Structure 1
Amino acid sequence: MDTRIAFGLVTLIAATSCVATAPREQARVTMPVPPPARTASKVVLAVPPGPSEALLAHAGAPTLAEAMAVTAAPAFLDTAQGDDAARALDCLTQAVYYEARSEPIEGQQAVAQVVLNRVRNPAFPNSVCGTVYEGSSRSTGCQFTFTCDGSLTARREPAAWERARQVAQAALAGFVYAPVGSATFYHTDAVHPGWATRVTSVGTIGAHIFYRLPGVWGGALAYRQRYGGVEPGVTAGTRFAEKATEALIEAIEGVRIHRGGVAAATDADSAETASAARPVEHRSGVAIHRGPAAAAVQHGVTIHAGTPGDDA
């Protein structure tokens, strides 16, 4: 009996000792720090650049009527030959692959259509490779992020590349993906760029939301530019400069009628300053700056001069 009691006391003392030491051990443990892997795995989503501020300021605000009217783009006429044709196909395949390789076929066709819409819009280069590799003078980076973020150095998936090539080949041969209309911009539904509220939403296809420029900029006049048929050679790191906003405004809107002080302007800066001082009307794609009627300048257009309150 004494032996059993002694053994029980020893067991009780040992158990009590273990319980008592646990808090002392915990007291020496500091607050744990999150492992570096958690912060290193954070994904930073790239926000594609939209239209320039100067372009948005001139194009006007989007309307609901524009958003409801989506007209299919005309078929692309690929006039490139030989090496130029091969470069056009390669550049468009890259855009489809890197921008939408995980998308369904419709998402890939939509991306290809946006590239070709840009090629024929005076706001962009008149070649496929020039459009895809267009750099940016703004801090938002390249127009297509894969040309800037190192994606081109990664190993390609052969099956996905071939699928993208077929989509690009069909688009260059005249296939039109009608649902995106004349869209020239898009972004994934995971980001919310500030420029999105200032352009006309066309719709969502796959994981991308597509947009066109407001007014005449995203209508029939968006296809004024003729495809050059000459494709520049490009490599990773190649950049093509953006077009000057003043030049492309005139190219898209056609005739600009400057009255009064605007007609006397001899450079882009003074013309912009003078036009900002007067209200501007947009009629059938013509920017009309009102001022003294006697100062009207004719650019191949018949102008019926009168008082500033009369119609031009």
Structure 2
Amino acid sequence: MGTQFEPGDDRIDPSLSVIMSERRQLINLAYRLLGSLADAEDVVQEAYVRWYAMTPRQQEAIKSPGGWLTKVAGRICLDQLRSARARRESYVGEWIPEPLPDHAEWARGRPGAANADPADRVTLDESVNMAFLVVLEAMTPAERVAFILHDVFRYSFAEVAEIVGRSPAACRQLASSARRRVRAAHAPETPADRRAGLVRDFKRAWETKNIDALIGLLDPDATALADGGGLVNAAPVPIEGGEQIARYLVTVAGDVPGQTILERTVNGQPGLVVQHGGVTTAVLAFDVAGDRITRCWAVRNPEKLRPWTAY
């Protein structure tokens, strides 16, 4: 890419500041739609490429550049979602959305963080926690786009229809169907301090290889998924049952002596980061119901640990 549209470049025409200010919103949108920061960055870059490919007269004719960029980015995401299912059929093992660190933790850990583009940091809220993103993965591409655009980003169904290529009424139905999926998967909310306490206790039990303590923290019907992307060893299938998960975790800890487990914010929720020799080797996210951990997602694919590399 030419430096003429790299953010933070002093040579950018001041008149383009409105266009460039849309990057944060676009990356936030694209990450929620795709579950991958790398893919989201590519989508936003492509949207800007298409903007700059137009003549000045064509650009001036667009009444809302931000709306135009959103429409283009949304359509690119929709195309990617439609092709993602075919790509993921050949993905080795389980596919889990890319985990994201907290803003402050990310800023401390990233090289050159002092000059980092704030648009690259996805705003963390309930719409990016891992449980929510996993539910989104079960939706059709059109459902996901309609739901995220309308329910999360508050676009009207008329605006959503222009992106999805269906009528506003059809988009309303798509969002309603997606909403039912979210409600069906939603567990009663556990207070933040209780979530943090469970994850902290889980960390201590794992560090000490205390199987009984781990079993006590995990729901008997808990599920664990690991995503290695075929690049590192990971559990090839979901692990079902709290006892089975506990025994697997203790075995893994024994196979990799000297690893460090850190408490970190993962997609806006208490999580864990595993390091070995100063290198992040896994990021764990959790779902909680009451006083038990019900689901655990472990991302070990190095390509998805890019934002955590400097930890």
TM-score of the aligned structures, taking structure 1 as reference length: 0.26
Structure with the larger strand share: 2
Give the structure with higher Rg (CA): 1
TM-score of the aligned structures, taking structure 2 as reference length: 0.26
Structure with the larger helix share: 2
